[in-house]
Each structure stands twice: as C-alpha cells, then as structure tokens.
Amino acid sequence: MIWLTWRQARAQTLIAVGILTALAIYVVILGLGIQDYYDSNIVGCAADNSCQTATELFRDKYQGSAALTGALLLAIPALIGIFWGAPLITRELETGTHKLVWNQSVTRTRWLATKLIIIALISLVLTAAFSFLLTWAVDPVDKLIGSRFAAMTFDSRDIVPLAYAVFAFALGTTVGMLIRRTLPAMAVTLAIFAIVQIVTPNLVRPHLMSPITTNVAFTKEIAQSIDGIGSKGGPQNGDSEPVGVSGYNKPGAWILSEPLNALINADGSAFTRADMKACMTGDFEKDLVCLASKNLHFSITYHPASRYWPFQWIETSIFLALALGLAGASLVRIRRIS
C-alpha cells in the first residue's frame, strides 16, 4: 500500500519539490541579502546616529519581499488542501478506480490511512523546509520592523504552517469524500480554509491565553515614540471629548487594545481635549514636557513577546488535533461509501 501511495503521489510530489526548490533558492538569496544589509548597516548604527535612516531604508528594501514570501507560504497549505486533499478520494470515484483498488486484499480503512499518513508526511516535510527557511531569512525584518504576532507573519513562521498544511490536507480529503466530485470539493475546501485563515487570527488567536492589562505611564519618551494623541470624534465634539494615545508600540508584544488607548489623569478621571489644549503652545518640545508633567497614564491589553512560542505551540496543537479529528472521521466514513 505504501508503494502504491508513493507511486500515485510521485508526480505531484516531484512537481511540488521542483516549485519549492525554485522558491527556496529565491528565499536563500533574499535571506543572505537581508543578513548582509543588517550586519553592515543596522548593527552599530548607533555609533554614527544613522539608525533611523538605516531602518527606513531596510524597510523599503525588504518589507515587501518578506511579506510576499510569507504570503506564498500561507498559500502552500491551501494548495495542498485543494490539489492533494480534495482529489485524493474523488479522483478514484470519478475514474472508477476505487472499484479496482478496493477489491484488492486491503481494507478501505487501511488504504485511506496509508494515503493520509504518507501524504500528510510529505506535506509536513515540504512545508517545514519552506517555513524554517523563510523564518531564518526574514528574521532581521521581523525583529526590527515587523510584529511577530501580525496575522500574516505569525501564520507563516516556525511551526504553525506545518499544522495548517496537515489540517488543509485532511480537510480537503474529508470534503472530497462528502462531496464526491473533484471540482466542487476543491472549491469548498478553498472556501473553508480561507474562512479559517480569516477567523483564526481575528477571533481565535487573541483568546488562546488570557491577555494582560497594564497601565503605562505617559512619559516624554513614550510621547515621542507614539504616532500621536487624539480623540475618536472630530473637533466638533467639543472640549469634553476624551483623548487617547495611538500607535503605542511595546517591542515584540501583541497589543489588542488598539487603535486608541484612552489617557487617564492621575486622579483616575479621563484626560480631555480641553486638558490637552492647556498644554498646546505651538512648541512641540515644550508641549511634550507639559503633557509628561501631568502624570498621565493609559491602559493597554496585550500578549507579551514571551508568549510567541506558547502561542505557536497552542495553535499548532489545535490544528493538528483538528486534522486528526477530520482524518478519523474520514476513516470511519470511508467504510460507508457505496
């Protein structure tokens, strides 16, 4: 059965290896370029005070490519689900070859189990190779300017893509078995997987662990680092409108309480537009000192940087478990096909 599985999967595996090798070469070149630029321009930039310019240039040069290759890695599980998972059973049913193979001295359950295990392993190895390579290549970009928790980044680094690949494959197989026709099965697999890819980062991932809420003192340094302060409504809302901080960045952390974190006075009352106007003199430096002297603070809800790996493991486990559940369901279901 292993022989047959490999014989049938050989062509598609070789095609995938070919495409991924080409991509891998690109990623290696990209990674070497990033590493080289990082070592020569970013490391030690503090010495000649060129950090900001160097980082800007770094961003212009590599952020696009990093995002693009990340998107390609996101597409791999989807492609595996569509082209390997969905047709796994439907192709046999459509060509009638299930009548041939299910009448050899191998039960359907073993036939499907072998196929699921071997092709899942192939998916795992290919995705792992690409994911680890990409994680290495764009590591400086992630560290310097990206957020490792950003939806697209988190999904396309380290071990999470492996679980997605296995999940998408099991999903495609199950959908194929239920729908029994290749093209509709492919479409439905893609639709479900896309929904999962949208729902997971937005609705599931923030709750994998309970977020931390903490108060941040509004110091002059913080005032300089943020994008700005402002209110939700426009000026027409009047002076009593509360004012908040936007663009606060805690290195490596995933801040959930965006986009505006309300500023609070030392006595616990809301800092309003009127309070802010009192500090506005037109001289930016003086304004900052004035605001900082008011002992303001704001509250943020976030996941600290140290949770990156726990989150990777939790999400990986969830999708591997879902894949196992789907595989188990198809193994039970395959006996009932007639």
Partner 1 sequence: METVGLGKRYGRKQALSDCTLSIPPGRIVGLVGPNGAGKSTLLGMACGLIRPTTGSISVLGGRPGSSVEQLTKVGFVAQDTPVYAGLSVADHLRLGARLNPGWDPELAQRRIEQVGLDPQQKAGRLSGGQRAQLALTIAAAKRPELMIFDEPVASLDPLARRSFLRNLLEFVAELDVSVVLSSHVLSDLEQVCDYLVILVDSRVQLAGEVDELLAVHYRLSGGRSDFDALPPTIEVIQAEHTSLHSTVIVRSTVPIPPSFPGAEAVTLEQMALAYLTRAAELPGTGYSAKALEAQR
- List of residues contacting partner 1 (CB under 8 A): 1, 3-4, 7-8, 11, 95-108, 336, 338
| Residue 114 vs 257, nearer CB to partner 1 | 114
| Residue 100 vs 266, nearer CB to partner 1 | 100
Query: Sign of dihedral through CA atoms 287, 288, 294, 299?
Result: positive
**Residue 150 beta carbon to partner 1: minimum distance, rounded to whole angstroms:** 42
| Residue 100 vs 183, nearer CB to partner 1 | 100
| Residue 49 vs 338, nearer CB to partner 1 | 338
- Omega before 206 cis (within 30°)? no
One-letter-per-residue 3-state SS of 79-118: HHHHHHHCHHHHHHHHHCHHHHHCCCCCCHHHHHHHHHHH
**Residue 101 beta carbon to partner 1: minimum distance, rounded to whole angstroms:** 7
Q: Which two tokens stand for residue 292?
A: 């900082």
DSSP structure class, residue 45: G
| Residue 97 vs 269, nearer CB to partner 1 | 97
| Residue 8 vs 135, nearer CB to partner 1 | 8
Classify residue 62 as left (phi > 0), alpha (psi -120 to 50) or beta: alpha
Within 10 angstroms of residue 134's Cβ, the number of other Cβ atoms is: 24
Q: Are 255 and 226 in contact (CB under 8 A)?
A: no
Give dist(CA 232, CA 259) in Å, integer: 10
Q: Where are the alpha helices (DSSP H) in 96-253?
A: 97-101, 108-137, 139-144, 151-155, 160-179, 182-199, 220-225
| Residue 52 vs 338, nearer CB to partner 1 | 338
**Residue 169 beta carbon to partner 1: minimum distance, rounded to whole angstroms:** 21
**Residue 116 beta carbon to partner 1: minimum distance, rounded to whole angstroms:** 17
**Residue 104 beta carbon to partner 1: minimum distance, rounded to whole angstroms:** 4
**Residue 180 beta carbon to partner 1: minimum distance, rounded to whole angstroms:** 13
